[in-house]
Structure 1
Amino acid sequence: MKTIQKRHSVRTYEERALSPQDRAALVAFMERLDNPFGVPVHEYILDRKVDTAGEKLGTYGVIKGASTFLGVSVPKNELAPLAAGYEFENLLLYATHLGLGTVWLAATFQREHFAASMGISKEELFPAISPVGYPAAKRSLAETLMRATMKSSVRKPWEELFFQEDFHTPLTTAEAGLYAQPLEMVRLAPSATNAQPWRVCKAGDLYHFYASYKPGLAEPEQLIKQVDLGIALSHFHQTALELGLAGAFVSVPQANRDLPDTMHYILSWKAGKEI
């Protein structure tokens, strides 16, 4: 939880390489990563120079000073975006634990070039990369403006994200009980353009997770929302594990639930004994 609260997006880095110790720690952690969805996810680490003058080596000038990048790919299937978001966020949280800076990049990088450099097949979903390195003492002007535009430090309030039984009744922290902290860590999760698309509806011992977006959204944008939900599920699950809360992710039919057309079911968490 402390790491989640500490994590923030970094786009401006000191112009120096990772120490051998930090790089080795990242590689070792990558080899241990897994996810609760049974999907094989692949992570990559690539040394590549991006100078402080804003050289557009694959990031359109968004990233300054970084010389190492992490990447994630996954075979295409229904749960692929969730698994990719979940595992890659766990990796970025570990980097935060090491004192390193990171930021999710989903659109502002040259996907084909990074895929070729990392050896990623065109048959796999390649949703994101992240620079990894030592945060600079001062943010670049471009980063400062970007954070202000996206309101990067702002998160939606509880009553807009978490609900009880239906989407008309907000869930209180008292009603969430032991799950108030996992849900708060969901609230703090990063997302593309800080859209915060996750919604959670508690029904008995089930926590239903949805992606909120208008019907007819283009498929690539839907995939980004699903990756965002994977990030949120990482925060929820890791916090539940830290607190010793037993449960499991399950898929629950939604036919009998009266859902707004903006709510797209993703997955549920069943609290209680491990399933």
Structure 2
Amino acid sequence: MKPVFPVEKTIRERTSVRSYEPRALSTKEKDLFHDFIKTLNNPFSVNVNFRLLESSDAWKGEKLGTYGVIKGARDFIGASVPDTDLALEALGYSLEHLVLYAVALGYGTCWLGGTFDRSAFSHAMDLKKGDLFPVITPLGYPADKKRPMESVMRWAAKSDQRKEWKELFFSENFSSPLSKSDAGDFAYALEMTRLAPSAVNKQPWRVVKCQNAFHFYKAKTLKEGKNSVDLQRVDVGIAACHFGLAAAEKNLPGGFKKLPVPNINTSSELIYLFSWVLNS
């Protein structure tokens, strides 16, 4: 199904908004998002649970907080998944689709993976045992004036920089960069993938074009805590969303599938996750 918004325009307009007008969404606006959530799916057949939360939605009167990273926001979107295969990738895919929908309508969002009060948000999410709850995003009206701290945070996270094609996309193996001409009709989908947001802008996805498939790998570019959720898997799901929406917009053939690990030489830092397989 084709996206309900222009993919490239929306992706290029999306930016992390950290300062908001201090007003809540109306019931009509919330209903709009609830209705869109009902239409969301992901190619990994994982049930992603979304909740629209208000800043006052918390346990024992506790307010939802983001340690000063976000200012003014009154509404948030939380997303959780059962701990299954490709669950975090599915969450990234579905929530990014929702984020882009919000951006296309003129709302502000910002992926948050560590800078929010996880305890308070977890109570508001009403999680089931074993659920993974890695990220949230504020949802609201961007403030006209940004705080000085917001510019500093964008600079520190290198938010306006993206890796070059030769660092992300490969042909047959990881020694041969994929050219845009060799990517053919899929060059557009890969360029939209390159523009995807990620934790501290590490862009941990690598894609290898091999015969009739594009194989997606996670490159471990951040240290993982023993008990923390692997946010880089969420990031690869975000990138896959960009690829999938762009492919749907252009009617490109194929779909995402988990295959046996491809016979491609890799380092221990590269982990195969899934593939886009062209229709035969």
Q: Same fold (TM over 0.5)?
A: yes
Q: Which moved more, 1:239-248 or 1:213-222?
A: 213-222
**Distance in 2 separating the partners of 1:112 and 1:123:** 15
**Distance in 2 separating the partners of 1:19 and 1:27:** 12
Q: CA deviation at 1:97?
A: 1.1
| Stretches of structure 2 lacking an aligned partner (at least 5 in a row) | 1-6, 58-62
Matched, 1:14 2:8: no
Q: CA deviation at 1:118?
A: 2.2
Matched, 1:96 2:103: yes
* Residue type at the aligned position of 2:139: V
Flag the 1:187–1:219 CA change in 2: closer, same or farther, 3 A.
farther
Q: CA deviation at 1:217?
A: 4.3
**Distance in 2 separating the partners of 1:130 and 1:72:** 9
Q: Is the 8 A contact 1:215 1:261 kept in 2?
A: no
**Distance in 1 separating the partners of 2:262 and 2:184:** 27
Matched, 1:272 2:276: no
Paired position in structure 1 for 2:143: 136
Paired position in structure 2 for 1:251: 258
Paired position in structure 2 for 1:161: 168
**Distance in 2 separating the partners of 1:8 and 1:48:** 22
Q: Is the 8 A contact 1:49 1:68 kept in 2?
A: no
| Stretches of structure 1 lacking an aligned partner (at least 5 in a row) | 51-55
Q: Which moved more, 1:243-252 or 1:191-200?
A: 243-252
Matched, 1:227 2:234: yes
Flag the 1:118–1:155 CA change in 2: closer, same or farther, 3 A.
same
**Distance in 2 separating the partners of 1:10 and 1:234:** 20
Flag the 1:211–1:111 CA change in 2: closer, same or farther, 3 A.
same
Q: Is the 8 A contact 1:3 1:93 kept in 2?
A: yes
Flag the 1:81–1:38 CA change in 2: closer, same or farther, 3 A.
same
Q: Is the 8 A contact 1:156 1:196 kept in 2?
A: yes
Q: Is the 8 A contact 2:22 2:74 kept in 1?
A: yes
Residues 77-226 of structure 1 aligned to structure 2 (within 5 Å):
77-213=84-220, 217-218=224-225, 223-226=230-233
Q: Is the 8 A contact 1:215 1:262 kept in 2?
A: no
Q: Is the 8 A contact 2:218 2:271 kept in 1?
A: yes
Q: Is the 8 A contact 1:95 1:101 kept in 2?
A: yes
**Distance in 2 separating the partners of 1:220 and 1:183:** 33
Q: Percent identity?
A: 46
Aligned residues: 268
Q: Is the 8 A contact 2:79 2:91 kept in 1?
A: yes
Q: CA deviation at 1:221?
A: 5.8
Q: Is the 8 A contact 1:213 1:263 kept in 2?
A: yes
Q: Is the 8 A contact 2:23 2:74 kept in 1?
A: yes
**Distance in 1 separating the partners of 2:197 and 2:227:** 18
Q: Is the 8 A contact 2:205 2:218 kept in 1?
A: yes
Paired position in structure 1 for 2:11: 4
Q: CA deviation at 1:219?
A: 5.3
1:128-160 CA distance string (max 9 Å, x none): 100000111121122111001111011111111
In angstroms, what is the RMSD of aligned CA positions? 1.9
**Distance in 2 separating the partners of 1:185 and 1:62:** 27
Q: CA deviation at 1:20?
A: 3.6
* Residue type at the aligned position of 2:233: Q
- Partner-residue secondary structure (3-state), 1:261: coil
- Partner-residue secondary structure (3-state), 2:84: coil
**Distance in 1 separating the partners of 2:223 and 2:70:** 32
Residues 49-88 of structure 1 aligned to structure 2 (within 5 Å):
57-88=64-95
Q: Is the 8 A contact 2:64 2:121 kept in 1?
A: no
